[in-house]
Amino acid sequence: MYRMGLVYDRIRWEEKALIEASRRLGLDLKPIDSKEIYLSTSGDSRGIKEEFGDLVLQRCISYFRGLHITAILENFGVEVINPFHVSLICGNKLFTTLALVKAGVPVPKTLVAFTDESAFKALEVLGYPAVLKPVVGSWGRLVALVRDRDSAQALIESREEMQNSLMQIYYLQEYVRRPPRDIRILTIGDEVVAAAYRYSANGEWRTNVARGGRTEPFPITDEVVELSIRASRAVGGGVLAIDCMESPDGIIVHEVNNTPEFKGLYSATKVNIPEKIIEYAIKVMKK
């Protein structure tokens, strides 16, 4: 009988739903708190598989924690959803953008600078307003709308004061003129399973549900399916959330999330996403 682990650092609605779905499907899913474990880099893979199972759903909120746990587990022959190379790419906005561009997936115009002086030059090329994002981060944290040169000065100076080398990588995107919403699409393998509009909360330009955004069903079209699957394959596939915007030139992809939250999608679409994820994991184990 196949055994599966679920590695987490916080039990959210999604993790509870996955545990319940696995029970309904008769699967032994073992929750494992990543904050309470330690792992050796050497030894017998049988011990690792005994503790974690044949396959692990990696659901850590912490990008770096999940990435390093995935690297160790894969080294001992444990399959992980999503795999290390997918986690590495999707956890970094620049790596994601490069993968999407290489695959011909439309993205916002993006410039990257490595000093405060070159960041100002890049903003002059992009024009104001523009969007400044951290290369690593989620939930819209530290994403800033740069309205003009004065706001750019304040934002860049504050970043220069941070003792964090990642914050001195200036990932800058054009501000896309769009409706006050974006589109979140969940892909599992080569299937688009759910899609929803995410609307900004009052007084907020970001659409993250974590920031009070609301969701409504989005009609899945052939165009959206083709774009989403291309984006998924570009980063390596798995269980992914593709975040898109409606630009004047059509739908463009601006992020791909490796450990997606799907409570908002579930409430908007009523698609049984947890069961679909568990069923996909079972198929991966049987290959």
CA-to-CA distance for 110 and 121, rounded, in angstroms?
13
Predicted pLDDT at 141 = 83
SS3 104: coil
The residues of the chain that CATH labels 3.40.50.20 are 4-89
> Regarding the domain delimited by 110-174, which CATH topology (the fold level of the hierarchy) does it fall under?
Dna Ligase; domain 1 (3.30.1490)
Predicted pLDDT at 266 = 94
C-beta of residue 208 within 8 angstroms of C-beta of residue 140: yes
Name the average pLDDT for the chain. Answer: 92
Q: Which residues contact 150 (CB under 8 A, 6 or more apart)?
A: none
Percent of the chain scoring above 70 in pLDDT: 95
- Low-confidence residues in the chain, pLDDT < 50: none
18 phi/psi in degrees, rounded to 5 = -65, -40
C-beta of residue 267 within 8 angstroms of C-beta of residue 216: no
For residue range 71-120, list pLDDT tens digits in order. 999 999 999 999 999 999 999 999 999 999 999 999 999 999 999 999 99
CATH number of the domain located at residue range(s) 4-89 in this protein: 3.40.50.20
Prior bond of 202 cis (ω within 30°):
no
For residue range 196-217, list pLDDT tens digits in order. 999 876 655 555 555 556 889 9
SS3 199: strand
Residue with tokens 């390596």: 236
The residues of the chain that CATH labels 3.30.470.20 are 177-279
CB neighbours of residue 63 within 10 Å: 18
Q: What pTM does this model have?
A: 0.92
Q: Which segments of the chain are extended strands (E)? A: 4-8, 29-33, 55-58, 79-81, 110-113, 130-133, 144-146, 170-174, 181-188, 191-199, 214-217, 239-247, 250-257
Tell me the two tokens of residue 170: 């200036």
The residues of the chain that CATH labels 3.30.1490.20 are 110-174
Question: Is 177-279 a domain of CATH 3.30.470.20?
Answer: yes
Predicted pLDDT at 207 = 56
C-beta of residue 188 within 8 angstroms of C-beta of residue 262: no
Predicted pLDDT at 199 = 87
CA-to-CA distance for 66 and 81, rounded, in angstroms?
11
